[in-house]
Structure 1
Amino acid sequence: MKRKFQREGGDGTPTISTAALPDIVFMLLFFFLIASAIKPSEYDKYVKLEPAKASELTDIVKKDMIAYLYIGIPKDKNKYPQDYMLLLNDKPAQVSDIRGWIGDEAGKKSGQDLMEYGLTTQMTIDKTAKVGFVQAIKEQLSYAQQFNVSYAGIEGDPTVE
């Protein structure tokens, strides 16, 4: 007796289709992009800071090559009795810590990006900060060979309170 339906090619296992694999990979990618949160700055735990107004603001192109420096009025005067407080990437610091911090930040960045873009120090300064304190910080940055500095501000007319 001859079978009406007979397999050609023997007992081999069927192949698995990979046509949907790129779709699955992109769905996972989008899921992780949406589910992961970017950590916001936590400087406001330590200082009150009202940035100065500026009329000409520009965006920084390579945001992952920024080291953040904040100068503000300490919230806890008992713990931090000084008039102004320095934060290096959301952590309280002294002016003398800046040189080591710049070296650490440069070490964390990718070598190719560091050569191409360089490290940028973004200074967010309270509008009432004393110029002498800011100047001391800028001197430490220059000793650390960090000359690429940007100043953060809020958009507005600087002549109007």
Structure 2
Amino acid sequence: MSKALTFAAIALAAVATVSPALAVDENNTSAGLTAAGAPLGLHGVDPVAFIDLGNRLEGTAAHTVVHDGVAYYFSSAANAETFEANADKYLPQNGGFCTFGVSVGKKFDGDPRFAAVMDGKLYVFLSQEIFEAFNKDRAGTIAKAEANWAKIQHTAATEL
């Protein structure tokens, strides 16, 4: 019985330690964990290739960097090293959530198939239709998203 209680206490402590970081949805990630032990960000697309080269390239697990509890895949070792040297430059804005969604106070999936790089920053969107809505007022949408992100960053998506 004491072994069961000890195990239960350890399991409860582990959940209590991990849950707060994952519960607030500060980063948009795919369900499950990568081989690196962290959830996958940006749907596995290489953020360095996106921003520096303007190409949406799929990354691979062979070139993984974990940053702030999120695994990012890269198309090359060089891109992974570039990211590690200056991750903040390459992280998707608004935690990788849909920029238009954040502009209206929501956290929707940000799909890199629908994305824009502006002023060296990567913005992702939920769908083609949402991306087209963003294109009607890029500056206004980004300004609203920046203001809202400060308010909702630490709030779970289900609470918005």
TM bracket, shorter-chain basis: under 0.3
Q: What is the TM-score when the length of structure 1 is the normalising length?
A: 0.26
Q: Which has the larger radius of gyration?
A: 1
**Structure richer in helix, relative to its length:** 2
* Larger RCO, structure (CA 8 Å, separation 6 or more): 1
